[in-house]
Amino acid sequence: MPHSTQTKIAKGAVWMILFKLVERGLGLISTLILARLLMPEDFGVVAMAMSFIAMAELLSAFSFDTAIIQNQKATQEHYNSAWTCSLLLGLVITLVMIALAVPIATFYNRPELAWVVIALAFGPLFTGAQNIGVVAFLKELDFRREFRFQVSRKLISFCIVVPLAFLFRSYWALVAGILVSKFGGVLISYLMHPYRPRLDFSKARELLVFSRWLLVNNAAGFFKERAADFFVGRMIGANSLGTYNLAYELANLPTTEIGAPINRALLPGFAKMHGPAEVSSAYTNAVGILALVALPIAAGMHALAPYLIPVMLGNKWLDVVPLMQLLAFNGALLLFHASICAVLIGRGFPARVMYANLFYTAMLLALLAGIFQYDKSIGVKGAAYAALLTSLLSTPVYLYQLRHCLGLQPFLFIKAATRPALASALLILMVQWVIPPYRVGTTFVSTFIWLLAGSIVALGTYVAAVLLVWHVAGRPVGAEHMLLQRLAKEWAQRFKLRTGSSHV
């Protein structure tokens, strides 16, 4: 059972990463098109509206699906009650946001924002109506079907938002993309799973007992991600908010594209585990893989940002570069925070996740308020400094929760991340030594060539540095050993197949 569960987690992580690669591929193409057609202010207007929409969605942030995943004895009544509560809460949020559309527009002093809020207000209702049966994909570790479900939603959104961007050339293309993605998710959820939920409140109280902690935890998570939006949007404006949001999204690629899918597989997997030894082994391996993959991505983004942004988005987005360089490291830290939260929730400690996230949120709000009150001229970069500093100072709090609840020592985390961190530092130094500083006015072809050269240098340096550091450390059993073993097995199988086919 232990080996089977860890194997399913590993396969699930592969499926979820594959989904994120497909999603990001579509998202990257979409972002490139939208960034060329739209202005930073357009992104900022949508970010203003989504800040309040997301805050209102906290009313439905009980994460009933997570409660069902964690409960190995969930019945049909649990599923029906979860769907009923989600649907009703989604309806309440829609009505509340429609009523508050004008006050929100007044808060930001942008009258046109009211209609954006009204349109986006229907998103929570669509989300609440989604078929609760698709939770079984994760609960039963059926990641292949989860992959198909998530990719289908993304494809629908992509096929709508890009044509609308050419048609409208405004933020309405972004609004339409968000709504279509949510509504499409509802339709696909009922097509892909035969379960048909019914109105039922019989298990609502039981679900709330577990999910009440997740509500507060999701509230803390909201301010963890969105607190800067209120400060930047209110004090600096939509243009700066659009710049910050795009920088934050790109810089958090290690979290959203690598960490999120792995953590999505970790939560149901850890819920099925038995015994501290199995949990300790699985967590150490997971952190090692996360560090081995995500840290060089963050380091590469930091080093190559001056060339990456002009190639991807154009020179009108150059203000994103310094923000992205700061937030890249923040994204890597948030990745590890998310993995700790997934383990704790999976093992039945949502309250401890809530405590850690509340600490993070309180510190972030205090730093944002202090920085903008002290010096408003620091601009949007002040929000990036506040986010990075908060992530650094709160990491020991997350590690403490892990040790307190599961007996996993911080040494396991440090040991797993040290070698990839050293190799990533060498990556940054080598790229900065080889690639010249970017100069405004450089042709697109030259910029692309230097970006390609820098990427090759970054990849080569990291692979060589990882192997060197691992060898100097005595080639211990860990993420490097697992990865090399896996590659050797794959090559052996390929060689065997080729040899067999040649004999035939």
Amino acid 504: pLDDT: 44
Amino acid 28: pLDDT: 59
The amino acid sitting at 465 is A
Per-residue pLDDT of the chain (504 residues; tens, 9 = 90+): 444 555 555 554 555 555 555 555 565 566 666 666 667 677 777 777 766 666 666 555 445 666 666 556 667 787 788 788 888 888 888 898 898 888 888 887 888 888 888 988 888 888 888 887 777 665 565 556 666 666 677 777 677 777 777 777 777 877 877 787 788 878 888 887 787 888 877 776 766 665 566 666 666 666 777 777 767 766 666 677 777 877 887 787 655 656 555 655 555 555 565 666 666 767 777 777 778 888 898 899 899 999 988 887 777 788 888 888 888 888 888 888 887 887 787 777 777 887 888 888 888 888 888 887 766 667 788 888 888 999 999 999 998 888 887 777 777 778 778 888 899 999 999 999 999 988 888 888 898 999 999 999 999 999 999 889 888 878 877 677 777 776 666 666 666 655 555 454
What is the sign of the dihedral through the CA atoms of 496, 497, 501 and 504?
A: positive
Instruction: Match 């704790």 to its residue by tokens.
Output: 344
DSSP string of 390-417? HHHHHHHHHHHHHHHHH---HHHHHHHH
Rounded-to-integer distance, Cα 342 and Cα 16, Å: 15
Domain ranges in the chain are: 2-473
Helix and strand tally (H, E) in the chain? 21, 0
Rounded-to-integer distance, Cα 284 and Cα 177, Å: 38
The Cα-based distances of 58 to 248, 309, 378 in angstroms read: 21, 33, 31
- CA end-to-end span of the chain: 39
Q: What is the largest CA-CA distance in the chain?
A: 77
Sequence-distant (≥ 6) Cβ neighbours of residue 445 within 8 angstroms = none
Amino acid 427: pLDDT: 94
Rounded-to-integer distance, Cα 324 and Cα 305, Å: 7
Rounded-to-integer distance, Cα 466 and Cα 288, Å: 12
The amino acid sitting at 70 is Q
Contact assessment for residue 214 and residue 350, using Cβ atoms and an 8 Å cutoff: yes
pTM of the model: 0.63
H runs (alpha helix) in 38-131: 40-56, 64-70, 76-99, 101-108, 113-120, 122-128
